[in-house]
Amino acid sequence: MQIYVEFGDITTITSDVIVNAANGALSGGGGVDGAIHRAAGPQLLEECLTLGRCAPGDAVITSAYELPARHVVHCVGPVWYGGERNEDRLLASCHHRTLELAAEVGAHHVTFPAISCGAYRFPINRAATIAARTVANFMASQALPDKVTFVCFERKTFRAFNKAIEELHSSQQSP
Ligand code: APR
């Protein structure tokens, strides 16, 4: 199973699908959302604004315009409120829904940022474990995508995702 972690800016990664950490209005924002919209150009926002709202845990797909990708999947992660508002389930759901949309367009390689780990304040180690498990479970049962990369913009996020992937591999190897 090809799951990788890289350090850097997601807008520079060539991939079939780049995933955006969007808000429910799909109206653009700061963080990775701002970076993706800047790199894609204004047509991305124009398309997003035709799509209506997207609920936390869900995702929508658009073209990628000037990005080095075919599509952008905009997924809406949960805001962290302490863990009592279904945050874990919603974080898993937005990863799962993203992969379903990517598979529908025949994507082999999907690149995720650390959804909900910035402005939405999800604890990073917990988010990394949920993201890694959800992606691995999906890939184990579906032909596409066959490669997923998590791109991390900060050292602490990079460490957390590497640890989560290592734990995944060791749990798969144990009898
Ligand atoms: N490439 C990769 N990762 C990035 C980049 C980038 N260019 N820029 C920021 N990040 C990282 C952040 O460091 C963080 O680890 O993306 C992760 C997610 O952070 P946010 O972008 O703040 O996303 P999130 O926590 O899901 O909050 C979403 O923020 O920008 C708004 O419109 C967006 O309201 C929504 C909210």
Which pTM does this prediction carry?
A: 0.98
Q: Which of 9, 16, 33, 58 is labelled catalytic? A: 33
Please tell me the distance between residue 173's alpha carbon and the centre of ligand 1 in angstroms. 33
Please state, in angstroms and rounded to a whole number, the distance separating the CA atoms of residues 175 and 166.
16
pLDDT band (50, 70, 90) for residue 1: confident
The count of other CB atoms within 10 Å of the CB of residue 76 is: 27
Cα atoms in the 13 Å half-sphere on the side-chain side of 120: 26
Structure tokens at 86: 């279904």
Which tens digit of pLDDT belongs to each residue from 13-27? 999 999 999 999 999
At residue 173, the pLDDT reads 72
Please state, in angstroms and rounded to a whole number, the distance separating the CA atoms of residues 155 and 144.
29
CB 120 less than 6 A from any atom of ligand 1: yes
Which tens digit of pLDDT belongs to each residue from 26-81? 999 999 999 999 999 999 999 999 999 999 999 999 999 999 999 999 999 999 99
CB 56 less than 6 A from any atom of ligand 1: no
Task: Answer yes or no: 58 catalytic.
Answer: no
Q: Which of 168, 138, 148 is nearest to 10 (CA)?
A: 148
CB 20 less than 6 A from any atom of ligand 1: no
